[in-house]
Chain A
Amino acid sequence: ETGVTQTPRHLVMGMTNKKSLKCEQHLGHNAMYWYKQSAKKPLELMFVYNFKEQTENNSVPSRFSPECPNSSHLFLHLHTLQPEDSALYLCASSQDLWYQETQYFGPGTRLLVL
């Protein structure tokens, strides 16, 4: 247990569904991150939040929508996903932004889009 929890751990959804992934940390960390890990591709950082504010991000499709209501919770809202979005979605937090030495990852949500 790293102190970062994610729910659900597994999710199967159709392309027309809307679902949300949840991440929670009670480590007192100020920065939170969403990563995507697809089979045979490098781990990819999707979104970064610092003190609930999203830092600049240019590359993620709008069908992924993050939300950070407070420093302890991070959501990833999913809608009209494609089969190629099937992947492991990892959440992480760190004491301060880019302070990787204090970064902890959650166990991930395994997502399958049919």
Chain B
Amino acid sequence: EDKVVQSPLSLVVHEGDTVTLNCSYEVTNFRSLLWYKQEKKAPTFLFMLTSSGIEKKSGRLSSILDKKELFSILNITATQTGDSAVYLCAVYSGGGADGLTFGKGTHLIIQP
């Protein structure tokens, strides 16, 4: 059974801090790893990673994948209160609906 584990489950930091969120996985047929940000209800797509060692960057957010050690990290620098959200990691292993496995998410709170 495919498994995705995110850590920490929750994190409280002060505005301006840098945070690193972790996602480790065990899947039978890895195709891609996805990061989402969920504020209130609807998740929004952040990154899709398929290759090891290639950093993807969007503003203050960046992510990298290590396919040998089976994990990914999501970095947020100079955090702002608007970064407060649940960050979801998912791994796609192909096939139909059963091929997408999510972690439980990291609940990030940025204090002013």
Contacts and interface: CB of A to CB of B under 8 A. Distances in A.
Nearest to A103: B45
Q: Of residues A45, A46, A58, A104, which shows the largest number of chain B Cβ atoms within 10 Å of its Cβ?
A: A45
Q: What's the dominant secondary structure at chain A's contact region?
A: loop
A2 B104 contact: no
B105 to A, nearest CB: 7
Interface stretch (B12-20, B66-74, B92-100): B92-100
A2 B34 contact: no
Nearest to B31: A98
Q: Of residues B45, B97, B104, which shows the largest number of chain A Cβ atoms within 10 Å of its Cβ?
A: B97
Contacts of A60: 97
A88 interface: yes
Interface in A15-50: 33, 40-48
B96 A105 contact: no
29 contacts: A2-B42, A4-B42, A33-B97, A41-B104, A42-B4, A42-B101, A45-B100, A45-B102, A48-B96, A48-B97, A55-B95, A55-B96, A55-B97, A56-B95, A56-B97, A57-B97, A58-B96, A59-B97, A59-B98, A60-B97, A98-B92, A100-B32, A100-B34, A100-B45, A100-B92, A105-B41, A105-B44, A106-B42, A108-B41
